[in-house]
Each structure stands twice: as structure tokens, then as C-alpha cells.
Amino acid sequence: MTQQRWAKIEEIYFGALSQPAQERPAYLEAACSHDSAMRREVDSLLAQDHSGAGPLDRPAWADAEALLTPAAAPEMPPGTRLGPYEITGLLGQGGMGRVYAAHDSRLGRSVALKVASTEFGDRFRQEARAVAALNHPNICTLYDVGPNYLVMELVEGPTLAERIRKGPIPPAESIEIARQIAEAPEAAHERVVVHRDLKPGNIKIKPDGKVKVIDFGLAKATDPASPAPGTPSVSLPGTIMGTAAYMAPEQAAGKPIDRRVDIWSFGGVFAEMLSGQKVFSGETISETLAAVMKDSPRLDGLPSDLPTALRKLLGRCLEKDPRKRLRDIDRGSQSYPGGRPRG
């Protein structure tokens, strides 16, 4: 969704709030014209506004589209140079910028170059500090940092999202992938780093079967002076960062977070591998976040012969109350056949 479209949705939303209840339907019909998608977005926001309060008093997830839609990073055609790196093609666009394949002329190797918009420059430097502190076979390696770009390991192979689109992944294969996924946040948590955006699109499966978490784009180092590993990070209240379908309730509400948001996301990813369907979904981002906040996780598609221990593990990962949630991925290791997850 473009920022211009969100601005229009927001304009209609506030306009609807100013209308008497009996006149809102006619106002919305005229304002949205024949744009049914826009009408659904506005209706979704209105459905969450129980008090008619101003924008600063609404829950953070009511403004989901605006908060989750970053400014566009600059487009760079093949041949563009950033220092010693020459762009060879566009790989994709993530929550913090465009990702390009590039050639490192100094070392003669292919790399992934993630270029940020100026708006996200500070977050990219934050990402660099977080990722540079991590050295693990299941975490994508950071090579270099530029003024507004990161140079990272180029990981071949499909994303887990692409694999899931083909259908549910058999339990044995899902468990092996989950073993490796779990290693990445576990290593990050040991360095007091929270990923905050663990999802199938940020996980790649190399041709040799090795799993890599490729994007710590929303990673945030929690306060190193925290008295305990579970202490909330210094995330600002009211700020949403992450992907709606995999976002923990406290994260969706813009509350302080800790490592347990990654536990939640891991549970959602693991369940999606097994069932082929997201545990939370909606027609709009706002509806998806509302489901995260209020609904039970959708686990009806799990294999009927899935071990009880794994079902319990998923349930503990997806506890809405973080105080009841599994606190460490390593604590669920007894649920994996063979014990502790291994890379």
C-alpha cells in the first residue's frame, strides 16, 4: 500500500468518525466510491475504534498500514556502483529497503546489498550493530556497512515461504527445519538481541539443506543492563515493527518487548510449516492484527499424528500472555525428537 493511499484511507476514516452514526454508511459509500478494498480497510479501522477517541488514544495496531509501510528506497539499475559494490540485479524489497545482488570488486565475490531510504538510516546502523555481533551458521553473515546500505552474505535457495506455498511440509522435514530456525534466535538471545520479524519470508533453505535466517532488519539490542534475560527491551510504546501475521500481541499493541516475541513468531512459523496455513490471518493488516490480539491460533490443520509434545510446544509458543509463553526456545528442546535443536 502506498503512503498516498493510506493518507486517503486515514482521511476517510477520520471523516467517518466526525459523522453521526446514522449518516456514516452514506458518507462511506460516497467517499470510497466503488473501491471495495478501500472500504474494507476503513471499515476495519472503524470496527476497532470502540471509543471514538483521537488517533493518539487508539491502540497502535489500529494504524497498522501507516506504521508498517516504509518509505521506498532508491531504485538502482544494474551497473550502479556503491563504493566497491556493483549492482547486478534486484532480489526483492523488504520492510526496510530494497535488496540487490551485487559484485564485490575487491574480493571478487557475489553479495547481497540492502539499500535503505534515508528515513531508515538510523535503523540500518542499529541493524548493523546487532547483526555484526552475531556469528552463527544459521544467521546470514554481515560483511560491510555503508552510509545507507548493508553488505551481506548472498544466500542461494528458496525462502521458506516459497516452500510452504507448495503445501504443508511433512512433519519430519518440518522438525529438521525448525531445529535450525531455532538456533538463530537462540544465538541472538544469548547476545541480548531480539529479531522481531521472524517469518517464512526471512528464512532461506540452501540447496544443501542448511537453513539461514536472512534478515535481522528489525533486530534490536535490548538493554544490556537488564537484570534478567526476559526483561523488556526499550522499544517505544506505540511503535509497531514487524509482520502482522507473525507479530506477538504485545508487539502488535506497541508495548515493550523481549525475546518472547521471537518465541511467538517461531511457533507461528513452525505451525505454518506443518499445516500450510497461517495461524492468524485477515483480509486487511488491521484485521490480521485484531485476530492476533483476540483470536485463538488456527491449529486445526496440524497433522493428526503430530506428537502431543509438539502440539504442547506450539501452544506454549503461541500463548497470548507473554508471562505464560515459553521463555526460551532451548526450553522446548525436549519436544524435538532427538533432543536439543541442532543446526
pLDDT tens for residues 145-177? 887 788 889 999 999 999 999 999 999 999 999
> What is the pLDDT confidence band of residue 241, given thresholds at 50, 70 and 90?
low
DSSP 296: P
Contact 181, 203 (CB under 8 A): yes
Q: How many Cβ atoms are within 10 Å of 143's Cβ, its own excluded?
A: 18
Catalytic position from the list 144, 197, 215, 258 = 197
Alpha-carbon gap, residue 209 to 223, rounded angstroms: 35
Pick one of 3.90.280.10, 1.10.510.10, 3.40.50.300, 1.10.150.110 as the CATH number of 160-335.
1.10.510.10
Question: At 50, which amino acid appears?
Answer: H
Q: Pick the closest to residue 292 from 281, 300, 284 (CA basis).
A: 281
Domain range summary for the chain, segments of one domain joined by +: 3-58, 81-153, 160-335
Contact 177, 342 (CB under 8 A): no
> What is the pLDDT confidence band of residue 234, given thresholds at 50, 70 and 90?
very low
Q: Who has greater pLDDT, 8 or 287?
A: 287
Q: Is 197 among the catalytic positions?
A: yes
Which whole number is the average pLDDT over 219-243? 43
The pLDDT, as a whole number, for residue 196 is: 83
pLDDT tens for residues 94-115? 656 788 999 999 999 999 998 8
Question: At 311, which amino acid appears?
Answer: R
pLDDT tens for residues 38-96? 888 888 777 765 444 443 334 444 444 444 445 566 789 999 999 999 999 999 876 56
* Mean pLDDT, the chain, integer: 79
Name the packing angle between helices 171-190 and 260-275 (round to 10°): 170
Q: Pick the closest to residue 171 from 334, 311, 300 (CA basis).
A: 311
Looking at CATH, the fold of the domain delimited by 81-153 is given as: Phosphorylase Kinase; domain 1 (3.30.200)
Alpha-carbon gap, residue 173 to 166, rounded angstroms: 14
Which whole number is the average pLDDT over 6-26? 77
Question: At 204, which amino acid appears?
Answer: K
Q: Who has greater pLDDT, 242 or 69?
A: 242
Dihedral sign from CA coordinates of 36, 38, 41, 44 = negative
The pLDDT, as a whole number, for residue 204 is: 95
How far, in Å, are 61, 73, 284 from residue 290 at the CA level? 8, 29, 10
Q: Pick the closest to residue 226 from 264, 187, 191 (CA basis).
A: 191
Alpha-carbon gap, residue 231 to 256, rounded angstroms: 9
The pLDDT, as a whole number, for residue 181 is: 95
Alpha-carbon gap, residue 215 to 286, rounded angstroms: 24
Instruction: Dig out the grid coordinates for 35 from the structure.
Output: 473501491
pLDDT tens for residues 247-306? 999 988 878 888 899 999 999 999 999 999 999 998 888 888 889 999 999 999 999 999
